[in-house]
Amino acid sequence: MSRFALAALAALGIAGVAMAQGMPKPTTPVDRPNATGGERLYVEHCAMCHGPNGMGTGLLGRRVEPALLEQRDNLNAQYVIMAARRGIGNMPPITRGEVSDADLKLIADYLAAGPHGGKP
Amino acid sequence: MGFRPIESEQMADIPLPPGFTAAKMSQAQKAFEAALGADRVFFEDVDRVGYQDKFAIDDARHHPAGAIAPTALEEVQAAVKIANQFRLPLWPISRGKNLGYGTSAPELAGSVVLDLSRMKKIEFDEANGVVTLEPGVGFYDLYDYLQQHKLPFWLSTPGNSWGSVIGNALDRGVGYTPYGENTKNFCGMEVVLPTGEVVRTGMGAFSNAPTWGLYPFGYGPAWDQMFVQSNFGIVTKANMWLMPEPESLMGMDVEYDRPEDLKAMVDTIGPLRRERLLQQSPSIGNWLRAAAVLTTRKEWTDKPGALDDSVIDAIRRKFNIGWWGVSLRLYGREEVNKAAYRILEKAMTDIKPMLLKPTSWVKGQPMEYSGWTGTPMTFPMQNINWYGGRGGHVGFSPLLPQDGSAALAQFQRTYARYKEFGIDYQGSFAFGERHLINVNAMIFDKDDSAKMAKIDPFFRQLVADAKAQGYGEYRTHLDYMDLVAETYDWGGGALRKLNEKVKNALDPNGILAPGKSGIWPTAYAKERKA
């Protein structure tokens, strides 16, 4: 069983697994005080699903390595925009009311410039 | 893994509300652009797709004409004024993440979505633990705010914490801490009425009262719950109480081996909850609630129909989980928790668990990042990948008394229906103070049309079965708002008549969320379905 699966079991309250391998803390802007531009917007709008304990990371981890989008070296900005606006697989579309075109472009450019190191 | 189709590939025409024309919609769009700015008005195909229901059972329903995103109270009022001028229905959403209940889509096709996700102000009264929130503030935003300001308070987060804090409470969503019945944490609101006036409820009606966030009732009738699950106003701001970080968190994760153990679990936990030895809201979940997050069906079987016992046993063995599992937590002073823990442990041990794993935390130790510490999360939504494809879910959630025999009978009836319709059973029984919410999740794959065709008849069967027992839903998907409203039938539907009398009085043009919770204004009464 993967570390993520064990942690998910623990967080769901399922006995019989090691709580020591707990879920990581969610990543929010407080964890990246120096982040600006696309990185800051990514953490604010995307990290809840694409951070270390997110649904997107969990599902992508079943078929893509690395599962964390920030660690990818093969994301194209247009592809990111298309995936966000239309939705892809289990990911719902992200509306323009929630993330403006200008902000989404900054996020897409940030991901396309990856991989990004440092703290997940 | 494909992109979702955009609407222009499916349907050329812009959806319009009854009696509307495309020319009139275009005029309304221009009026919104003049009032809010073109960058806050969204009427392109990509927008109409984006605001549809992501987990729709019937993809042809609930299509919006467009969306607008005001950023301040005055802009909401301006939008309402325009809606009244054009007799154009608005569908307010906080952040539109109500997955399984309709997400951001309107009940009435052709409505314009009033997207409040850009209203994100947070004010915090640390002395009293009261936060004042706008509807665009999500659980992650508030979690971040508490840490940025080093505020020792915990949230009450739902399994999908992507959404809005007050939006969740406005739909009576729940969390898992002692503050888990989120709608009870409201203490005063600011509301734009359907005719554009603004009111403040509770002590907010008293100019400069320092007690708006402290005393929920005010003087005379208390209206907060009137704006919950209703279409009587747009909540633009609300006070909510947050739980002070406890000194200690103790408890246990407990597993039980047999389906029949549900009765003893409910009859053991219920009295402890009513006595308030347990102050949080535990939720008993079956094996699939855990397994669907961790694995996919295809890893275990390719047989159609509901899973048989041999496959269920294999999955349970692999993950070492019971047929039912529940987590119980005690919050507060360490000495008090230690005493309560002994009582809790004996009670749960007496009914012979398969596994009992104690947990203990005191302030200063590394924390468990889970719903029991009010940590926002999205990973439980991984369950929608159970069948593969473009996953989704819808939930049927009737209210039961806290009675083990009643819960077991409800489970057995429902489980038999899941088998009859060939759907894998994911069920849970969540405790309130006096009630149980029996959440029956129907996970589906939107790319499997044969399976999708079963969901609607299955849902309607469950509504009918529960109705026969006197069990009504606490919350439902757009498709079933009228159906569920019909089941609240006492006195010839007296409550619905009252709701619609109030609706027509407050909203004479019927512009605000027609059809929400089965409440239809006269202007759109013909749109009621069942």
* Per-residue tens of pLDDT for chain B, all 530 residues: 455 555 444 445 899 999 999 999 999 999 999 999 999 999 999 999 999 999 999 999 999 999 999 999 999 999 999 999 999 999 999 999 999 999 999 999 999 999 999 999 999 999 999 999 999 999 999 999 999 999 999 999 999 999 999 999 999 999 999 999 999 999 999 999 999 999 999 999 999 999 999 999 999 999 999 999 999 999 999 999 999 999 999 999 999 999 999 999 999 999 999 999 999 989 999 999 999 999 999 999 999 999 999 999 999 999 999 999 999 999 999 999 999 999 999 999 999 999 999 999 999 999 889 999 999 999 999 999 999 999 999 999 999 999 999 999 999 999 999 999 999 999 999 999 999 999 999 999 999 999 999 999 999 999 999 999 999 999 999 999 999 999 999 999 999 999 999 999 999 999 999 999 999 999 999 999 86
> Is B47 a member of any domain?
yes
Contact criterion met (CB < 8 Å) for A95 and B384: no
Residues B401, B417 within the same domain:
yes
Short-list B331, B334, B326, B372, CA closest to B353: B326
* Contact status of B497 with chain A (Cβ, < 8 Å): no
Beta strands in B3-152 (DSSP E): 41-42, 66-68, 90-93, 112-115, 122-125, 130-133
Q: How many Å from the N-terminal Cα to the C-terminal Cα in chain B?
A: 35
Nearest CA in chain B to A12: B290
Short-list A33, A28, A86, A76, CA closest to B145: A28
Residues B525, B492 within the same domain:
yes
> Is A44 a member of any domain?
yes
ipTM metric: 0.94
> Is B483 a member of any domain?
no
The confidence band for A14, taking pLDDT boundaries of 50, 70 and 90, is very low
The confidence band for A23, taking pLDDT boundaries of 50, 70 and 90, is confident
B206-231: burial string, b at 16+ Cβ within 10 Å, e else:
eeebeebbbebebeeeebbebbbbbb
Residues B323, B463 within the same domain:
yes
3-state SS, residue B156: coil
> Is A13 a member of any domain?
no
The confidence band for A6, taking pLDDT boundaries of 50, 70 and 90, is low
- Which among A16, A56, A62 has the least Cβ separation from residue B357? A16
**Which of chain B's residues have a Cβ under 8 Å away from the Cβ of A17?**
320
What is the tally of structural domains in chain B? 3
| Alpha helices per DSSP H over B52-205 | 73-86, 139-148, 165-170
> Is A35 a member of any domain?
yes
* Contact status of A64 with chain B (Cβ, < 8 Å): no
Q: What percent of chain A has pLDDT over 90?
A: 74
**Which of chain B's residues have a Cβ under 8 Å away from the Cβ of A78?**
none
Please give the pLDDT value at position A21.
42
* Contact status of A23 with chain B (Cβ, < 8 Å): yes
| Residue B307 vs residues A9, A97, B109, B451, B459: alpha-carbon distances, Å | 21, 41, 37, 14, 19
Both tokens of B236, joined, read: 């633009």
Residues B185, B288 within the same domain:
no
Rama region for A16: left / alpha / beta (φ>0; ψ in -120 to 50; rest):
left
Residues B111, B2 within the same domain:
yes
> Is B292 a member of any domain?
yes
Tell me how far the alpha carbon of residue B394 is from its chain's centroid.
11
DSSP string across B506-517 = H-TT--B-TTGG
The confidence band for A118, taking pLDDT boundaries of 50, 70 and 90, is low
> Is B184 a member of any domain?
yes
What is the tally of structural domains in chain A? 1
Residue A104: pLDDT over 50: yes
DSSP string across B454-513 = HHHHHHHHHHHHHHHHT--BSS--GGGHHHHHHH--HHHHHHHHHHHHHHHHH-TT--B-
> Is A20 a member of any domain?
no
> Is B335 a member of any domain?
yes
Both tokens of A61, joined, read: 């981890």
**Chain B 274-303, CB below 8 Å of chain A: which residues?**
285, 289-290, 293-296
Residue A95: pLDDT over 90: yes
Contact B411, B129 (CB under 8 A): no
Structural domain span for residue B32? 1-118+488-530
CATH at B322: 3.40.462.10
**Chain B 455-494, CB below 8 Å of chain A: which residues?**
none
Contact B518, B528 (CB under 8 A): yes
Query: Where a domain ends, among B244, B260, B275?
Result: B244
Residues B240, B253 within the same domain:
no
Contact criterion met (CB < 8 Å) for A53 and B379: yes
Instruction: Give the Cα separation of B200 and B223 in Å (integer).
Output: 9
- Which among A23, A58, A96 has the least Cβ separation from residue B369? A23
> Is A6 a member of any domain?
no
Residues B424, B352 within the same domain:
yes
Most B CBs within 10 A among A32, A44, A90, hence the mutation to make, goes to A90
The confidence band for A22, taking pLDDT boundaries of 50, 70 and 90, is confident
Nearest CA in chain B to A16: B320
* Contact status of A35 with chain B (Cβ, < 8 Å): no
Contact criterion met (CB < 8 Å) for A15 and B359: no
| Residue A103 vs residues A70, A110, B185: alpha-carbon distances, Å | 17, 11, 34
Tell me how far the alpha carbon of residue A48 is from its chain's centroid.
6
Residue A17: pLDDT over 90: no
Contact criterion met (CB < 8 Å) for A97 and B6: no
Q: What is the pLDDT of residues A26-58, one digit of tens each?
A: 999 999 999 999 999 999 999 999 999 899 999
- Which among B104, B294, B385 has the least Cβ separation from residue A5? B294
Contact criterion met (CB < 8 Å) for B46 and A86: yes
Structural domain span for residue A47? 25-112
* Contact status of B429 with chain A (Cβ, < 8 Å): no
pTM score of the predicted model: 0.95
Residues B373, B470 within the same domain:
yes
**Which of chain A's residues have a Cβ under 8 Å away from the Cβ of B376?**
26, 48
Query: Where a domain ends, among B244, B277, B299?
Result: B244
Please give the pLDDT value at position B7.
45
Minimal CA separation from B143 to chain A, in Å: 8
Residues B147, B92 within the same domain:
no
> Is B38 a member of any domain?
yes
Query: Where a domain ends, among B182, B212, B244?
Result: B244
Residues B359, B433 within the same domain:
yes
Instruction: Give the Cα separation of A40 and A116 in Å (integer).
Output: 13
Q: How many Å from the N-terminal Cα to the C-terminal Cα in chain A?
A: 22
| Residue B227 vs residues A63, B173, B175, B192, B489: alpha-carbon distances, Å | 44, 14, 20, 10, 21
CATH at B154: 3.30.465.10
Tell me how far the alpha carbon of residue B393 is from its chain's centroid.
13
Residues B153, B43 within the same domain:
no
CATH at A90: 1.10.760.10
Please give the pLDDT value at position B13.
83
| Alpha helices per DSSP H over A14-67 | 37-45, 47-50, 55-60
